[in-house]
């Protein structure tokens, strides 16, 4: 689906773009009304940015872009030569690193360099989506019509567009912000992935407030190591990209970021280990309740609407972000208590008939740390057995698979190892890597059962059947896919929604038990 564009676009001369970049002026000038880096998404009037990529050079699609109505090309010297060889007759602006200037160009073409929309950017390994939804619903409760851009969807008023990426490419991002500005939406909350920071996707955007949730192992297929992953995240906390920040210092990466960030930082912490400007004091009698104390004597009694200790932190981050945006602390405290629905995050699935059955939950946990946090959150409410259904994605960070198995085995009583978007890899080999983590914990003496059921549908059914007799005392957590609606096998995506599958499993096992 094509991403929304402003209905009354500006007209920017190509020569203005060349001048902005200090590039040689093209012989012919043309007016541009949009920018894209994908030939399949070109609209008449666009500047087509032909980027060198890992699989292809965008210039190889320049002819297709021209047929779709592209007015000009932005590319490197290699791209210009390729376009010429292909007989593409469009004016060209040549720069050394087109990806590196694309954000600045898109901001100029869409007029977002004037910062018409106030921006909150959230980065970190876990908690971006949840915190973004908490903030978005809090802003709505305060009467602020805000946009939302993230892993699940983009929201512009009532319009919702499904997401392809957590953070859009720069041309799409600036177009979305221009659409928001056109529709009178003056604030946008968005997730900023480390890929986006490394790939200049958010260049040209300056965040009024940037948030850091935490850092733990993920995406080491893309980043060279944890230091490189951290450096990508840390680049958000520099004056080119943000004005002020709220940094959670519950892990040592947050502590380091707070020390090294070059924008003003307020820290937030939920453990006494690291002193912070904002602190969370849990209420011993109620796991959801806590007191959030902040600068200038702020003391807010809050209650997280979502389960899990980490959601207290996410709620506190949202409150501190609101205060950083200038909201009165007491209003911020009230607003974050608005009921957010975060698709696929600790989402309870029921048959809706009031019948007793195990608690069944779908969660997006797909890192060792998130699996640990999710199972820790579910343990206190589980008197019977806690079952986790988990797998690891193919063509992504291979190193985390073992840790995911370890986290599952440490937190659950029964681990069902299954497939989760194997993509082009051998699913059995991925399951083996997860299983090795489980077996390591078992070898260490922990009494945890494990079964391997590759087919995810069968795995979910087996998990529900295993604890059905225990009724609501038991919990089944199906983790990894969250809001996703497809399973990628061999590059082909088949419809698959854990929430529907859990419902179907509950029905099937209930019928079987009734026979
Ligand atoms: C690793 C990565 O991020 N790769 C991104 C990168 O791909 P690439 O450099 O390999 O591009 P390529 O396939 O060689 O193509 C070269 C150029 O030709 C263009 N092209 C290609 C084919 C065509 O028909 N027409 C066309 O114009 C492409 O748009 C591209 O500009 O540039 C592409 C175009 O912008 C992105 O679509 C692609 O993201 C891919 C889809 C991706 O899967 N990214 C994931 C890993 C990602 O970004 N994830 C993060 C984090 C999520 C999280 O936190 O969990 C996210 O923000 O979503
Ligand atoms: N603050 C947190 N600390 C640790 N784990 C968390 C935190 N918040 C959420 N989680 C766990 O991580 C999972 C993913 O949460 P969420 O989708 O909010 O993170 P995300 O950063 O958007 O993830 P992704 O980048 O993969 O989209 C949740 O389903 C939950 O299990």
| Tens digits of residue pLDDT in 72-103 | 999 999 999 999 999 999 999 999 999 999 99
Ligand 1 atom, smallest distance to 57 CA: 16
pLDDT of residue 285: 86
> Which value, to the nearest 10 degrees, does the dihedral of the CA atoms of residues 418, 421, 423, 429 take?
-20
* Ligand closest to the CA atom of residue 64: 1
pLDDT of residue 1: 64
Q: Top-level CATH class of 114-335? A: alpha beta
Residue 271 has pLDDT above 90, yes or no: no
Residue 471 has pLDDT above 90, yes or no: yes
- Cβ < 6 Å from ligand 1: which residues? 37-40, 51, 53-56, 58, 61, 165-167, 169, 193, 195-196, 222
Residue 494 has pLDDT above 80, yes or no: yes
| Ligand 1 centroid distance, CA of 35 (Å) | 16
| Percent share of the chain, pLDDT over 70 | 100
Residue 354 has pLDDT above 80, yes or no: no
| Tens digits of residue pLDDT in 236-247 | 999 999 999 999
The confidence band for 182, taking pLDDT boundaries of 50, 70 and 90, is very high
pLDDT of residue 312: 93
The residue ranking higher by pLDDT, 283 or 197, is 197
Query: In this structure, what token pair is assigned to residue 261?
Result: 């960030």
Looking at the DSSP bridge assignments, the partners of residue 266 are 246
Looking at the DSSP bridge assignments, the partners of residue 159 are 156
pLDDT of residue 3: 86
Mean pLDDT throughout 357-372? Answer: 96
Residue 355 has pLDDT above 80, yes or no: no
The string of DSSP codes covering 39-84 is GGG--TTEEEEE-B-SS-BGGGGHHHHHHTT--EEEE-HHHHHHHH
| Ligand 2 centroid distance, CA of 299 (Å) | 26
Domain boundary assignment for the chain = 12-109, 114-335, 347-514
For ligand 2, pick from 127, 193, 280, 313 the residue to mutate: most ligand atoms within 8 Å of CB.
127
Ligand 2 atom, smallest distance to 317 CA: 1
| Tens digits of residue pLDDT in 421-442 | 999 999 999 999 999 999 999 9
486-489 and 492-495 strand pairing: antiparallel
- For ligand 2, is residue 126 a contact (CB within 6 Å)? yes
How many Å is the Cα radius of gyration of the chain?
A: 24
Contact (CB, 8 A) for 496 and 487: yes
Q: Whose CA is nearest to atom 16 of ligand 2?
A: 127
What distance in Å separates the CA atoms of residue 480 and residue 432, rounded to the nearest whole number?
17
pLDDT of residue 286: 86
Binding site residue list: 37, 39, 124-130, 166-167, 193, 199, 201, 396, 420-423, 480, 484
pLDDT of residue 272: 82
| Ligand 1 centroid distance, CA of 477 (Å) | 31
| Ligand 2 centroid distance, CA of 119 (Å) | 21
The confidence band for 260, taking pLDDT boundaries of 50, 70 and 90, is very high
The CATH number of 347-514, from 3.30.450.20, 3.30.1540.10, 3.90.190.20, 3.40.605.10, is 3.90.190.20
Q: Angle at the Cα of 350 (from 345 to 353), degrees rounded to 5?
A: 155
| Tens digits of residue pLDDT in 115-138 | 999 999 999 999 999 999 999 999
pTM for the predicted model, two decimal places: 0.91
Q: What is the mean pLDDT of the chain?
A: 95
The residues, ordered by sequence, that sit 6+ positions from 100 with a Cβ below 8 Å of its Cβ are: 200, 203
User: Alpha carbon of 406 to those of 188, 439, 446: distances in Å?
Assistant: 38, 8, 11
- For ligand 2, is residue 276 a contact (CB within 6 Å)? no
pLDDT of residue 283: 87
Which range (11-20, 137-146, 352-361, 503-512) has the least confidence? 352-361
| Ligand 1 centroid distance, CA of 39 (Å) | 13
| Tens digits of residue pLDDT in 300-345 | 999 998 888 899 999 999 999 999 999 999 999 999 998 778 999 9
pLDDT of residue 220: 83
The CATH number of 12-109, from 3.40.1390.10, 3.40.190.10, 3.90.1200.10, 3.40.30.10, is 3.40.1390.10
User: Alpha carbon of 84 to those of 45, 69, 81: distances in Å?
Assistant: 20, 17, 5
Query: In this structure, what token pair is assigned to residue 8?
Result: 């009354």
The residue ranking higher by pLDDT, 273 or 348, is 348
């Amino acid at each position: 689906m094509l991403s929304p564009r402003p209905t009354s676009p500006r007209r920017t001369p190509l020569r203005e773009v060349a001048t902005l970049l200090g590039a040689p002026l093209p012989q012919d000038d043309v007016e541009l009304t949009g920018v894209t880096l994908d030939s399949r998404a070109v609209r008449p009037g666009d500047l087509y940015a032909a980027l060198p990529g890992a699989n292809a050079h965008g210039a190889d699609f320049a002819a297709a872009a021209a047929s779709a109505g592209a007015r000009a090309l932005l590319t490197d010297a290699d791209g210009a030569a390729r376009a010429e060889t292909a007989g593409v007759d469009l004016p060209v602006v040549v720069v050394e690193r087109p990806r590196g200037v694309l954000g600045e160009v898109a901001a100029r073409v869409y007029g977002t360099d004037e910062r018409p929309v106030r921006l909150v950017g959230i980065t970190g390994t876990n908690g971006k989506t949840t915190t973004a939804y908490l903030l978005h619903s809090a802003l709505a409760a305060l009467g602020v019509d805000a946009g939302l851009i993230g892993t699940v969807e983009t929201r512009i008023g009532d319009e919702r567009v499904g997401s392809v990426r957590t953070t859009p490419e720069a041309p799409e991002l600036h177009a979305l912000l221009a659409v928001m500005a056109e529709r009178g939406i003056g604030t946008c909350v968005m997730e900023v992935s480390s890929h986006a920071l490394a790939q200049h996707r958010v260049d040209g955007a300056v965040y009024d407030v940037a948030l850091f949730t935490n850092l733990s192992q993920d995406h080491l297929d893309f980043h060279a190591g944890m230091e490189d992953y951290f450096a990508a995240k840390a680049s958000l906390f520099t004056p080119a990209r943000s004005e002020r920040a709220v940094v959670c210092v519950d892990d040592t990466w947050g502590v380091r970021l707070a020390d090294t960030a070059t924008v003003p930082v307020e820290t937030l912490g939920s453990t006494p280990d690291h002193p912070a400007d904002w602190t969370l004091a849990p209420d011993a009698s109620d796991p959801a309740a806590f007191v959030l104390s902040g600068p200038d004597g702020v003391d807010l009694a809050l209650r997280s609407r979502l389960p899990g200790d980490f959601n207290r932190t996410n709620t506190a981050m949202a409150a501190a972000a609101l205060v950083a945006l200038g909201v009165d602390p007491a209003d911020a405290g009230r607003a974050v208590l608005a009921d957010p629905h975060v698709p696929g995050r600790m989402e309870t699935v029921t048959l809706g008939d009031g019948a007793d059955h195990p608690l069944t939950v779908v969660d997006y946990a797909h890192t060792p740390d998130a699996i640990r946090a999710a199972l820790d959150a579910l343990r206190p409410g589980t008197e019977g057995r806690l079952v986790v259904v988990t797998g690891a994605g193919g063509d992504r960070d291979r190193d985390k698979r073992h840790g995911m198995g370890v986290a599952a085995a440490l937190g659950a009583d029964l681990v069902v190892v299954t497939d989760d978007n194997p993509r082009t890899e051998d699913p059995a080999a991925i399951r083996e890597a997860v299983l090795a983590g489980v077996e390591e914990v078992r070898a260490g003496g922990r009494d945890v059962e494990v079964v391997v059921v590759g087919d995810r549908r069968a795995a979910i059914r087996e998990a529900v059947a295993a604890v059905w007799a225990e009724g609501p005392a038991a919990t089944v957590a199906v983790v990894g896919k969250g809001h996703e609606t497809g399973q990628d096998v061999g590059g082909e995506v088949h419809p698959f929604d854990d929430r529907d599958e859990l419902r179907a499993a509950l029905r099937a096992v209930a019928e079987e038990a009734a026979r």
